[in-house]
A and B are shown apart, each in its own frame.
Chain A
């Protein structure tokens, strides 16, 4: 850690809560406007490995994790590092910031609370350990009797903070509630598989999906189940199963994507399905954004940006994103911002869905290994030429190496921030 200005320390101490997609309901809606036209890269901040984490903003400071095992605090205006905290594993989640502490999960199997001003450890909590979702013959990989980790399970659960507790999911299958000040366990709720979605909280209820194909509503105070909702199953290749998407809550309705190709709207009080939007075999990994009675989301394989009616799920418009989208759309000033797995970052007008601008990372422009076809689509024929041994995993790693954008953007003070697998955190204005 270098010398800190008094101003920076005060800013960190006085800052409010910040978490994945802005708040505890994961609204993804940011005050003010982001760039409607792209002027350029304001700055980019280098880390030692891919940045899957989505940055959060608190008091002019950005907090985010990197797969280089560190969590960084960076001055949002200058891109200058304030501190970094080193864990013993990658940190592909968004930190949450509340009451002067920064909370996050690391692949080392610990949950951390560090001081927002200094990056000093306040406490840490050992979970049952992290792991990726895994299954025999997953996605058609061979041999089909071999248990293989899912290379597309790229995130860890981003914590949320409410009522003096911090909540998060874990690869050990549990959802945890810890005392935010001390790290003491309040309760844990056991699901049937990995929980890497980020819980959302509203009116004392925690909402989160698991890879066991259930979506849960849990009483935030007691940890008791209120209801559960069953998503699709895929017992053979385990491709169309599990909630990787983190939910959004708006007007008493929970919206969540699922790997079973649906975007679901579920009554928050009862757990009854209101509607589903089926995407023909294409995962919905993003967290939807609900704005002005519309749901904004995007898909993986079909590579589409969708706007649907929030009340009925009826499609309003769709646009081609060129490649898969895992990054959840951030909305500010009538514009949706999100990253794409071909290494581009896109801004679309919410009224007509038209592309306002896009930015491509340097690595993606160089197109190592011809990961991309000339039209910017993922060059699947070149990448996924074999289902055997580790070839699909190596291919996915190669695909991810070109500066793709898993990170969900945040918008603050006219600037949009996001991470990329090229190891940089970007600030575009």
Chain B
């Protein structure tokens, strides 16, 4: 038998997976809130461990790649949540015989009928993951930034973990004291990026000459911030 081209093998593999799990698919549908139709695209799949993963796109609401959580597929019922997007969204319903989904979408205590159809294999947009950081970046850092008209002292704690995803926390002391847990932390060469989406915050800094020199970006604000090794508390 002639060897099949690699692309054909991959396509066949995807198609088999698609066929094996009725819920695993790209779903395209809409829900009708009073006076307005909202589009929704959902990608559902299973990872190597058999766990359900998924993501959602709301084309009319400027949202793409929102991760699904609490995914449950049992017999013909399907439910999942989209947390931190449009408040928290919950979807519950049933897979129908014609390759569709019929259920309800809840947001803000409101509920609307939701209908979706399969439109192809899933294209799950996996959320970005934190990475570990270089050993010399671990530990405590501090610096000061001028936020419009007042000084804010910033303290940063960085720690690697055995699962390869470092953790970080900001402690801010300005007019108020604020603790912020960093949601996504990545190091790419000398570029360190820390993100706190709930606070619309990104800090990007370059690690050079023993300091991290970068920009604190929060909404429309941008402030220069250089972090140095913290003095022992």
Contact = CB atoms under 8 A, between A and B. Distances in A.
Interface string B1-44: 00000000000000000000000000000000111100000000
Contacts of B220: 137, 140-142, 144, 236-237, 387
Given A373-B109, A385-B86, A236 B35 contact: no
Chain B facing A: main interface SS: loop
Interface stretch (A195-203, A351-359, A363-371): A363-371
A379 B86 CA distance: 9
Contacts of A366: 34-35
Interface in B94-139: 107-110, 112
B163 interface: no
A140 B87 contact: no
Contacts of A141: 220
A11 B69 CA distance: 67
Given A374-B110, A386-B61, 13 more contacts: A140-B219, A144-B220, A237-B220, A366-B34, A366-B35, A367-B110, A370-B33, A370-B112, A379-B108, A381-B107, A385-B61, A386-B62, A388-B62
A126 interface: no
Nearest to A385: B61
25 contacts: A141-B220, A144-B220, A235-B148, A236-B148, A236-B220, A237-B220, A367-B110, A368-B34, A368-B36, A370-B33, A370-B108, A372-B108, A373-B110, A374-B109, A374-B110, A375-B109, A379-B107, A379-B108, A382-B107, A382-B108, A385-B62, A385-B86, A386-B61, A386-B62, A388-B62
Q: Which of A370, A382, A388 has the most CB of B within 10 A?
A: A370
Interface in B43-67: 61-63
Interface of A: 137, 140-142, 144, 235-237, 366-370, 372-375, 379, 381-382, 385-388, 391
Given A236-B148, A237-B220, A367-B110, A381 B35 contact: no
Interface residues on B, range: 20 to 34
Contacts of A388: 62
Interface of B: 33-36, 61-63, 85-87, 107-110, 112, 148-149, 219-221
Contacts of B33: 368-370
B102 to A, nearest CB: 20
B34 A369 contact: yes
Given A137-B220, A236-B220, A368 B108 contact: no
A379 B63 CA distance: 17
Contact of B86 (A235, A374, A382, A391): A382
Given A137-B220, A382-B86, A386-B62, A374 B35 contact: no
A284 B180 CA distance: 29
A135 to B, nearest CB: 11
A237 B112 CA distance: 36
Nearest to B35: A368
A379 B108 CA distance: 7
Contacts of A381: 85-87, 107-108
A45 to B, nearest CB: 24
A27 to B, nearest CB: 36
Contacts of A140: 219-220
Contacts of A235: 148-149
Contacts of A386: 61-62
Q: Which of B33, B35, B61, B85 has the most CB of A within 10 A?
A: B35
Contacts of A373: 87, 108-110
A387 B218 CA distance: 13
Nearest to A233: B149
A381 B89 CA distance: 11
Contacts of B35: 366, 368-369
Contacts of A379: 87, 107-108, 110
A236 B110 CA distance: 36
A366 B148 CA distance: 43
A144 B221 CA distance: 9
A388 B63 CA distance: 12
Nearest to B218: A140
Contact of A369 (B36, B62, B63, B87): B36
Nearest to B148: A236
A373 B88 CA distance: 12
B174 to A, nearest CB: 15
Q: Which of B85, B109, B112 has the most CB of A within 10 A?
A: B109
A382 B219 contact: no
A142 B36 CA distance: 25
A236 B223 CA distance: 12
A385 B107 CA distance: 14
Nearest to A136: B220
Contacts of A137: 220
A235 B146 CA distance: 14
Nearest to A373: B108
A227 B27 CA distance: 65
A391 B62 contact: yes
B200 to A, nearest CB: 8
A343 to B, nearest CB: 13
A369 B219 CA distance: 26
B179 to A, nearest CB: 19
A375 B107 CA distance: 12
A204 to B, nearest CB: 38
B182 to A, nearest CB: 22
A253 B221 CA distance: 38
Contacts of A391: 62
B114 to A, nearest CB: 13
Contacts of B63: 385
Contacts of B107: 370, 379, 381-382
A359 B74 CA distance: 45
Nearest to A391: B62
